[in-house]
Amino acid sequence: MTVWLIGSVVFFAAAAISLLRPLPSIVRATPGAVLLAALLVARALDVLPEPPMLQVRVLGATAVAVLTVLAGSAVTGTVLGFVMRDDVERGTRGGILVRSADEPARERPQPEVLRGGAAIGFLERFAIVGAVLVGHLEIVAAVIAIKGLGRFTELDTATARERFIVGTLTSSCWAGVGAYAAVSVI
Kindly report, residue by residue over 26-41, the tens digit of the pLDDT.
Answer: 999 999 999 999 999 9
Percentage of residues in the chain with pLDDT exceeding 90? 56
Angle at 167 between CA 164 and CA 172, to 5 degrees: 120
Given a cut of 90, whether residue 18 has pLDDT beyond it is yes
- Whole-Å CA distances, 162 to 79, 88, 101, 156, 169: 12, 11, 15, 11, 11
Angle at 26 between CA 21 and CA 31, to 5 degrees: 90
Residue spans per domain, the chain: 2-181
pTM score, two decimals? Answer: 0.86
Say what the pLDDT of residue 159 is.
76
State the average pLDDT for the chain: 86
112: helix, strand or coil: strand
Kindly report, residue by residue over 70-117, the tens digit of the pLDDT.
Answer: 999 999 989 988 887 666 666 666 666 666 555 555 565 566 666 667
4: helix, strand or coil: helix
- Whole-Å CA distances, 160 to 20, 72, 100, 123, 183: 26, 20, 11, 20, 34
Alpha helices in the chain (DSSP H): 2-17, 25-44, 54-83, 117-134, 138-151, 158-185
Kindly report, residue by residue over 138-151, the tens digit of the pLDDT.
Answer: 999 999 898 888 77
Q: Model confidence at 134, in pLDDT bands (50, 70, 90)?
A: very high
H or E element in which residue 97 lies: strand 96-97
Q: Model confidence at 172, in pLDDT bands (50, 70, 90)?
A: very high
80: helix, strand or coil: helix
Say what the pLDDT of residue 97 is.
64
